[in-house]
Chain A
Amino acid sequence: MGVLVRRDSRILVQGITGREGRFHTARMLAYGSQVVAGVTPGKGGLTVEGVPVFETVSEARAQTHADVSVVFVPAPHAADAVAEAAAAGLSLVICITEGVPILDTVRVVAWCRQHGTRLIGPNCPGIIVPGQTLAGILPGEMFRPGPVAVLSRSGTLAYEVAAALGDEGLGQSTCIGVGGDPVIGTRFTDLLPLVAADPATEAIVLIGEIGGQDENEAAAMLPALGRPVFALLAGTAAPAGKRMGHAGAIISRPQETVSAKTAALRAAGATVCSSPEELAQAVAARLRVTS
């Protein structure tokens, strides 16, 4: 099934003529994704990896019926690109770009809401529905189809968890990287009901970290989901007030620590694990019992 994207999702790549855009367009095509159009202002008429390039998103959409955009546009212009895709009526925009100014994100999140567009990211690896489609930069070879939905604030830690699940013989129904910035378009609480409603999902893995309270808010939602939830939280050893790589990974209040989030998630019935291996084993044990 897959959440948000499917085998027949028609993908548009904004910033397709840049180094990253071109490289990941090739990888998405190799994975079997339908990349139908690219947009780079000033480069309309070109072809990249066999994909036609347009001047504007509305033109690309009119010609190709693209419904999902993946944005690789450099940070100074990334919010503008997202805003353009929302205005052109795309239902889903995935912003891979890291380093988007936070007040640009604040404005563009509101703009997307106004246009009824779902924004994933910024500063995220995108979405993969293993065996169906890849919309982003996740390494496809580390994922396989299966019953576990993975939602993560971190890219590489999600890959690590996918690999550990693979070692236990488990694949993923959908993996969504929500992004490592303090303000992101779509949070755990927006996605949990969607993945829980996906018949392909038998268990949910949340990969969170210090900073913000998205995990605490997600906890409040767990009892109603009807799916077992397993969590891995990064940043136990992180000192308060220090930004740990992600712009959003910073402890500003006591509720934003791993211990506070662990307590909130456990109280809501989640299994909180301390390493990817332990998490994969816990998921496997649980799914073996129920199957």
Chain B
Amino acid sequence: MGLLEYQAKGLLASAGIAVPAGRVATTVTEAVAAAQQVGLPVAVKAQVPTGGRGKAGGIALARSVSEVEAAAQRILRLSIGGFPVQALLIERAWAGEISDATRQLEWYAAVTLDRHEQSLVALFSTAGGVDVEVVSRQTPWRMLRLPVAATGSWWPFQGRELVARAKIETCWTQPLNRLFAAMVNLAYREDALLVEINPLFPAPSGELWALDAKIERDEAAFFRHDQPPGAVTPPLDWTTLAREVSRLPEAQVAAVLENRARQAGLAYVRLTGDIGIIGNGAGLVMATVDAVQRLGGRPADFLDVGGGARRERVQDALQLVAADPQVRVILVNVLGGITRADEVAAGILAATGTLAERGRRLPLVVRLAGNRSEEGRALLSRSVTGAGGPIHVASSLTQAVQLAIETA
């Protein structure tokens, strides 16, 4: 999960990495106060969990109090990538303090997970800035790459190596060693799978400044860090969720449903079709989504209830998918191994009952196989007239997918 820029910079500062003085503001008044504290000129930067802020007008340079007011007012009204701007970072700008020639220097430094190496790797380039992805695609030799020891040690030779390969002056060896040692430490301390500084500004004074930063933390490690905001989860209530979703612009629906699913402990990705898909096990659910698409249907989501799911979990899963207005039929594909198919059937019936009470009647296609699937199928077939709409019980995945496509 990605942190906002001000959170990332706070962590960098705590690791001893130089970042421009900055403060967070949520209103125009706060923005002006923040600008006066850090000193003009300032950059006014939208804090949103998505990229492309600059192009969307979410960053402005302000040289006076009235410019800060105008910029803050304008940016706080923006919505970027479906996210309304709720906070600004007011940051001391570099403009005017250094010569234009040096200001052009934009380096790139990152520490990130490399699956092949099975460790973190350090990335460094003297061609940073907004087009760094193009640089690493078209001139890969300009993006230097060094594996990091699994123990999290950064060796001083690695700084010498970077300097030699980047063909920069040796006076940068020490600052780069300090920077990368700090970034690797930070990654391990915070369970970050990406610590990226771009641009990294090599100041004439010999310091390296992090002008923008991205940090992504491993969600699996949240238990040993501060919980992200909103970690206290109320039980999933269909009516509330459906009402919230129905009021959202389409661009925000996916983020809200995915966030709610994460809180409920469900692995869920929203897609763009009309066939809701629920199953157990990531591979099986992916294969189900693939099968729907291959046979001409349009999957509305991927939802994995995980192994050994109990009825409450299945019930939550169905309610979540049913809260998505694009869904016209739900396909449940469960292969009972550790999961008990009768437990799943009980969850399905509980969910359809609740949904029917609230007036959401969706046809269901259910394929149950494996452990206790006969009991599960028997449970379902006793209530084929199901309060929530018809429940079709299919024997094979292919048949289930075809039925779902015909129904949607």
Contacts and interface: CB of A to CB of B under 8 A. Distances in A.
Given A157-B287, A209-B286, A103 B218 contact: yes
Looking at chain B's contact residues, is the secondary structure mostly helix, strand, loop, or mixed?
Answer: mixed
A182 interface: yes
A139 B370 CA distance: 9
Given A155-B337, A237-B289, A160 B119 contact: no
Interface magnitude class on chain A: 35 or more
A264 interface: no
Interface in B257-308: 267, 269, 271, 279-287, 289-294, 299, 302, 304, 306-308
Interface in A196-219: 207, 209-213, 217
Nearest to B273: A237
A238 B302 CA distance: 9
Given A183-B113, A245-B302, A275-B291, A101 B283 contact: no
Contacts, number: 169
B29 interface: no
B368 interface: no
B186 to A, nearest CB: 12
Contacts of A106: 113, 118-120, 150
Contact of B287 (A137, A160, A212, A217): A160
Contact of A182 (B115, B281, B299, B398): B115
Nearest to B291: A275
B110 to A, nearest CB: 14
Most buried by A among B113, B120, B269, B282: B282
Contact of A207 (B191, B269, B283, B396): B283
Interface in A132-164: 137-139, 142, 152-160, 163
Interface stretch (A9-17, A35-43, A222-230, A246-254): A246-254
Interface of B: 113, 115-116, 118-120, 150-152, 187-188, 191, 193, 218, 220-221, 223-224, 267, 269, 271, 279-287, 289-294, 299, 302, 304, 306-308, 335-338, 369-371, 396-398
Interface of A: 20, 75-76, 98-104, 106-107, 109-111, 137-139, 142, 152-160, 163, 180, 182-183, 207, 209-213, 217, 232, 234-239, 242-249, 258, 274-277
Given A110-B119, A236-B290, 7 more contacts: A76-B223, A111-B150, A152-B283, A155-B283, A163-B335, A249-B286, A258-B290
25 contacts: A20-B308, A99-B220, A103-B188, A106-B113, A106-B118, A109-B118, A109-B150, A110-B118, A137-B307, A137-B337, A139-B336, A139-B338, A139-B370, A142-B337, A142-B370, A153-B283, A154-B282, A154-B286, A156-B280, A159-B335, A160-B287, A234-B287, A236-B293, A245-B302, A275-B291
